[in-house]
Structure 1
Amino acid sequence: MASDPKVHTFEEVAVHYKTKDCWLIISGKVYDATPFMEDHPGGDEIVLSATGEDATNDFEDVGHCDSARELMGNYYIGEIDSKTVPAKRAYSPPQQPAYNPDKTPEFVVKILQLLVPLLILGLAIAVSHYTKKE
């Protein structure tokens, strides 16, 4: 009689993130990819980049062939407790000051913001003075 598969927590899986000790979560299952690291066609770095998270999307995006999917069975060590997997967080860019492409010092920008309207007003007065009909 087959025993029930071992259920692993995310925290338990996440500590296995090295070439000589690498576990992956793919489609709710946990795989010990350590013996396959040297043989992986994409190299060990690509496998290591998928550790510490649910690697299902990474695995599916590559479009693995049927033989690769069959080979995964050799490395299956259990299931993941889905309640322990952290939710994916949306990316939020860091807050940055307004972009200043020409690197103009802030005080110059403020002075220009004050002077430009005054220059326009002065120009309008000069034009109206010289174009007055007598």
Structure 2
Amino acid sequence: MTGRVALWDGTLRHRTGVLGNLFPAALGDTPEAVNALAFSPDGSTLAVAGDSGTLQLWDTATQQPLGGNLPTPGEPIRSLAFSSDGATLYATSDHTPLQRYPLAPSHLITQACTRTGTTLTAAQWHLYIPDAPYHPVCDTRRPH
């Protein structure tokens, strides 16, 4: 496989788009190959894993990435699967135990608030949630 993924309609008769440049390579290097794919249960999100351990989520409607790459141990990911409610992504590789990635927005916000303390400044918001406009979400009246 190459570093590109084609999306097709449910009948597999019409290509609906191509997710291009999934894993950009340095000038002169070979692009990272796609190793594993998984759709969320509702089909709105596609998880794409590369043979160098890169893991990225994509919005299938807009064909745009959802945030940056997810943190991985760095070895080739062999298998991906979403939980039945789409709130968690699981990834496996040859030498790393099952990795669990909670994806529910409420969990991600709680995690960001916990990492930053009891408040989330605009700068911290853009660090953890770079693709969304700033909203004050951490409750400063109670610890996280």
- The TM-score range, normalised by the shorter chain, is under 0.3
- Length-normalised TM-score, structure 2: 0.23
- Length-normalised TM-score, structure 1: 0.24
